[in-house]
Structure 1
Amino acid sequence: MKKHKWTIQEQGLFLKNTGDLLARGYPLSEALESLMHQLPQKRRHEISQCLYQLKEGFPFYQILANMNFNNNLIGYVFFAEQHGGLASAFLEGSEMVLRKGKDLEKLKKLMTYPVFLMFITAFLFIFVDKVLLPRFSSLFVSMQLQPNFFTKAVYLFGDLLPLFILISLFGLISLLFYYFFRFRNLPPIQQKKIIVKIPAGGHFLRLYYTHYFSVQLSYLLNGGLSIHEALSLFEKNDKQPFYRALGVAVKTKLREGYRLEDILTSYPFFEKELANIIRHGQKNGRLDQELTFFSRHCLNKMEEKTEKLLKLLQPLLYMFIGFLIVSMYLAVLLPMFHLLEGF
């Protein structure tokens, strides 16, 4: 039977419902059997295959990987199977994914109309700049009328637009070359160090990496593991090369005598506050709880910043489009008013 790719929303809801049933005392196999009857027909065969693989002894994270689930969700399941807190980890992972999905949906809704308006404005601008305005300009020059501010603005934008498109294309091609021939061959940790330097999205990524590392480490510590044992599990996570490399690197530095908080401070893809949280948690003996609280703080902070960004983007687009439309109209109308005043 043909496999249908699960959307990120479907993955999040599936994991959330599974976590809800596990929290009520269901074993994993019974939870999946119960969910199978609530899912569409195209998903039932996949869940039945999932149940078969569970009975054969396959780990659940591996089964989800075979179903092409999101790597971050697979990571949640991998760590959950190590520390035993399946229900809470499933709910935490699904909450993170569903929040991300909601933010993307908000962004799509906010951007759909402005993007459509931009296309209409671009068509109108090309018509005014290439057809209408040159004809009027020749008339205005013969009447010895000086170009006004809006006429100059339209012509300037028309001259800069091709240059902007060329620069954008050149930049995109350069980024693609850099990615395929350089970036993807770098070690995972080095890749993340470069990514978080991106001006627009770097801080969001830093919050996300901090949230994910904090919540997984807190679960493992809460399950009775030491920091060294927890990092060993990070090292075994073959589905997430970055966290696997991170586990190896941090363990190596711990053996060399460095403190955990100092090691994490040296990584630019983590929030600086993480070191203080670890230091404080080690002093009061509640490191797992401190990390749990801090991970939620990072998630809430990401959501707040996303809301602010969405509220800023739409007005800026409308202002730019509005200025361009007003400039096009006034570039034509103002000289005509001057001509009418002369009669």
Structure 2
Amino acid sequence: MKKVKWTLKEQCDFLKKVGELLSRGYSLSEAMASSSLQLTLEKKLQLQEVIYQLKEGFHLHSALGSMNFNSHLVGYVFFAEQHGGLQQAFIDGSEMMQKRGEDMRKLKKALMYPCFLFIITILLFFLVDKIILPRFTSLFQSMNVNENTFMVLLQWIGSVAPLFLIVMFTLLLLCSLYYYFIFRRFSMIRQVSLVVRIPIIGKLVALFYTHYFAIQLHYLLAGGMSITTSLNLFAKDEKQPLMKEVGQYLRRKLENGEQLDELIQVFPFLELDLRAVIRHGQQNGKLEEELQFFSRYCLQLLEEKIDQIMKVTQPAIYLIVGCLIISLYLAVMLPMFQLMEGV
């Protein structure tokens, strides 16, 4: 199959349209054909090949995987093919990934301008430190005038900056070596367990995977499957290595007579509240509904956390830039006033 580039937005829009058409009574092939009408010729030809593969008995998740669709979207399709609720799973999965993509775009947009200002300010700082301040220093020494505090501070920062860059480069190199030679060899469970220890980012990762696990288990249970059968399907999800390992572990432990709610706390990338949700759902016989509500809660909390990060990060960068600019201004202007007083 010829490789055609699909953006995440295009993938989400396509699957959402397919889900909406399925809910109106279209067959899967008809829904895909109708959804492809507004796409480019290359994408239409690619989808025609996918439709042909479906008629030959291939699975949709395999075809989408060969098209390099997002692995989380492919995971939604994989589970949807098992429990039969294609239309709702397609819509929910595409909306979730659309929100994730929009959040990332907002975060990039919010940080782009302040980061640009920060880089320009750093360049100005080095210009002042390497060209302007040395001339003032020489002039002050010749006139027996003391240097002001801001000049001393900027000179100190200028002397420390190279050491700071060397340390940062060394840390980056060590992290890269650790990733390529050690981290990648860990199981996915251990990898993600280490990632969730990172401040701020770890909480976002935990909420994302908790939502994914809860919503997929909800779909499977709502489709009439048992917990054991559902976990067997998790263990077969090739596009999500983490969920595959989680499914294999939980299935093995359940076969030994252990309880699902007790096992969940083993995984640091799944929210602790999920344990209480599963226990309560098993007690009242409405586990699938409890999981659905909790998955929505995790998604809402994830949105709020990302908004909080954007609200804090952008002003913080502006504050740093502002302090640097004021310091540069005072470092340049105060010597002039001192010289004027000395004349």
Q: Distance in 1 between matches of 2:264 and 2:45?
A: 44
Counterparts of 1:272-283 in structure 2, within 5 Å, are: 272-283=272-283
Number of residue pairs matched?
343
CA distance in 2, matches of 1:2, 1:268: 40
Deviation sequence 1:109-156 (CA, Å, 0-9, x none): 212211221222122111100001100111123333333232122122
Which amino acid in structure 1 is aligned with residue 212 of structure 2?
Y
Question: What does residue 190 of structure 1 align with?
Answer: 190
Q: Which amino acid aligns with 2:333?
A: L
* CA distance in 2 between partners of 1:115 and 1:272 (Å): 36
Give the Cα separation in 1 of the matches to 2:157 and 2:45. Answer: 56
- The answer to whether the 8 A contact 1:125-1:328 is kept is yes
For the aligned residue pairs, the C-alpha RMSD in angstroms reads 1.3
Relative to the length of structure 2, the TM-score reads 0.97
Return the letter of the residue paired with 2:280: H
Task: Return the letter of the residue paired with 2:232.
Answer: S
Relative to the length of structure 1, the TM-score reads: 0.97
Distance in 2, Cα, partners of 1:203 & 1:99: 17
Deviation at 1:157, TM superposition (A): 2.1
Larger mean Cα displacement after TM superposition, 331-340 or 279-288: 331-340
Residue aligning to 1:84: 84
Instruction: Quote the residue 1:102 is aligned against.
Output: 102
Quote the residue 2:245 is aligned against.
245
**Structure 1 residue aligned with 2:65:** 65
Contact 1:73 1:93 in 2 (8 A): yes
CA distance in 2 between counterparts of 1:27 and 1:8 reads: 24
Q: Distance in 2 between matches of 1:14 and 1:276?
A: 36
Give 2:45's aligned residue.
Answer: 45
Structure 2 residue identity aligned to 1:252: R
Letter aligned with residue 153 of structure 1: L
Q: How does 1:204-219 map to 2 (within 5 A)?
A: 204-219=204-219
Query: How does 1:35-184 map onto structure 2 within 5 Å?
Result: 35-184=35-184
- The answer for the alignment partner of 1:200 in structure 2 is 200
Contact 2:2 2:46 in 1 (8 A): no
* Structure 2 unaligned blocks of 5 or more: none
Deviation at 1:2, TM superposition (A): 5.1
Shift of 1:190: 1.2
Distance 2:303 2:149 in 1: 42
Query: Could you tell me which residue of structure 2 aligns to residue 12 of structure 1?
Result: 12
SS at match of 1:269: coil
Alpha-carbon separation, structure 1, partners of 2:178 and 2:158: 31
The superposition leaves residues 184-237 of structure 1 with CA deviations (integer Å, 9 ceiling, x where unpaired) of: 111111111111111230000000110000000000000111111100111111
Distance 1:65 1:266 in 2: 30
Which range moved further: 221-230 or 332-341? Answer: 332-341
Partner SS, residue 335 of structure 1: helix
Provide Cα deviations, 1:275-330, integer angstroms capped at 9, x if missing partner. 01001111111100000010010011011010110111111111111111111111
Please identify runs of 4+ aligned residues in structure 1 that moved more than 4 A: none
Shift of 1:37: 1.1
Q: Secondary structure at the match of 2:82?
A: helix
1:335 deviation in Å? 2.2
Partner Cα distance (2:47, 2:159) in 1: 58
| Letter of the 2:230 counterpart | A
Identify the residue that residue 236 of structure 1 maps to in structure 2.
236
CA deviation after TM superposition for structure 1 residue 175, in Å: 1.3
Unaligned regions of 5+ residues in structure 1, if any?
none
Shift of 1:257: 2.4
- Once the two structures are overlaid, the 10-residue window that deviates more, 190-199 or 135-144, is 135-144
Q: Distance in 1 between matches of 2:327 and 2:64?
A: 55
The Cα of 1:161 is off from its aligned counterpart by 2.0
Residue 302 of structure 2 aligns with which residue?
302
The AA in structure 2 aligned to 1:316 is A
CA distance in 2 between counterparts of 1:281 and 1:116 reads: 50
Instruction: Please identify, of 128-137 and 162-171, the stretch whose mean Cα deviation from structure 2 is larger.
Output: 162-171
Q: What SS does the aligned partner of 1:49 have?
A: helix
> Contact between 2:4 and 2:67, CA under 8 Å: does it hold in 1?
no
Identity %: 49
Contact 1:145-1:335 within 8 A present in 2 as well: no
2: CA distance between counterparts of 1:88 and 1:167? 50
| Equivalent position SS for 1:225 | coil
